[in-house]
């Protein structure tokens, strides 16, 4: 996907990027591949792949949840790595207030420099393990309208990372690939225990060659407070997923 194809594909979805926004995405790409030579941020570095599999893929969250396009929402991205999906969402929809959480300082340093160079405001970076970020007495607990994560963990584990950060009435938006239905089935008990309720899955395909890649956006409503014992201590959710 070239930058022009990226622009056109989004326009077909009703997302019209300005010249400034397109320049910001190009700057994002340039800094990503430059820093990636010293710091392992991504294995995807070809421009066409970054635009499709990182930038466009990140923005599919707004296809599934259109409020991201226009509403003044607070969004937290758990385990954002090189900034996906939250920074592409912020670039396309500047009204979003974004918090990015990651456990590695080297990735946060990249993001800090990138955010400054792009001139972005309304972005907070937090160095923390996902389990520690939203402990019972954390100022970040149940604070956000939307929590999201991409390529972090299977759904039963991801729910324990994300749902404690979402306010009642908010949304957990999970980016998943082809195995989404199976993951969701195994995660139903965890989602319920953590105060969530499955709303829907939005399925789409990325126009990859030679075969299109399936993507699934899973929307989980936050319907009640998360019990204070969740999330459990660091490492436990992955080792002993909630049932």
Strands across the sheet with 97-102, in order? 123-127, 97-102, 74-78, 144-150, 166-176, 213-222, 196-206
The total of other beta-carbon atoms located within 10 Å of residue 125's CB is 18
Q: Any idea where the domains of the chain sit in the sequence?
A: 56-239
Q: Which helix (H) or strand (E) holds 216?
A: strand 213-222
State the pLDDT at residue 138: 93
Residues annotated in a binding site = 79, 84, 130-131, 150
Task: Quote the Cα angle for 14-15-21, to 5°.
Answer: 160
Residues annotated in a binding site for S-adenosyl-L-methionine = 79, 84, 130-131, 150
Per-residue pLDDT of the chain (243 residues; tens, 9 = 90+): 999 999 999 999 999 999 999 999 999 999 999 999 998 898 988 999 999 999 999 999 999 999 999 999 999 999 888 999 999 999 999 999 999 999 999 999 999 999 999 999 999 999 999 999 999 899 999 999 999 998 778 899 999 999 999 999 999 999 998 778 888 999 999 999 999 999 999 999 988 777 888 899 999 999 999 999 999 999 999 999 998
For residue 124, which of 136, 132, 53, 143 has the smallest C-alpha distance?
143
User: 2, 8 in Cβ contact below 8 A?
Assistant: no
Helices 155-162 and 180-193: crossing angle in degrees, nearest 10, is: 40
End-to-end CA distance of the chain: 40
State the pLDDT at residue 64: 96
Match 């003044």 to its residue by tokens: 72
Question: 121 CB contacts (<8 Å, ≥6 apart)?
Answer: none
Q: Give backbone dihedrals phi and psi of 158, rounded to 5 degrees, phi first.
A: -60, -35
State the pLDDT at residue 103: 92
For residue 147, which of 167, 129, 131, 171 has the smallest C-alpha distance?
171
Domain at 56-239: CATH code: 3.40.50.150
State the pLDDT at residue 97: 98
State the pLDDT at residue 168: 98
């Amino acid at each position: 996907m070239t930058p022009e194809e990226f622009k056109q594909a989004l326009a077909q979805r009703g997302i019209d990027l300005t010249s400034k926004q397109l320049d910001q995405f190009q700057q994002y790409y340039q800094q990503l591949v430059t820093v990636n030579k010293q710091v392992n941020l991504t294995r995807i570095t070809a421009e066409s792949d970054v635009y499709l599999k990182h930038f466009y893929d990140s923005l599919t969250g707004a296809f599934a949840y259109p409020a991201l396009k226009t509403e003044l929402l607070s969004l937290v991205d758990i385990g954002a790595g090189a900034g996906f999906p939250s920074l592409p969402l912020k670039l396309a929809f500047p009204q979003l207030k974004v918090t990015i959480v990651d456990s590695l300082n080297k990735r946060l340093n990249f993001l800090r420099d990138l955010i400054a160079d792009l001139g972005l405001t309304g972005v907070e970076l937090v160095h923390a393990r996902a389990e520690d970020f939203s402990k019972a007495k954390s100022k970040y607990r149940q604070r956000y309208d939307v929590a999201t994560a991409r390529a972090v963990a299977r759904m039963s584990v991801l729910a324990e990372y994300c749902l404690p950060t979402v306010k009642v009435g908010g949304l957990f938006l999970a980016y998943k690939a082809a195995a989404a239905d199976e993951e969701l089935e195994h995660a139903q008990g965890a989602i319920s225990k953590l105060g969530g309720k499955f709303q829907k899955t939005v399925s789409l395909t990325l126009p990859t060659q030679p075969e299109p890649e399936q993507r699934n956006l899973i929307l989980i409503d936050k319907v009640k407070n998360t019990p204070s014992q969740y999330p459990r201590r660091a490492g436990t959710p992955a080792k002993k997923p909630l049932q």
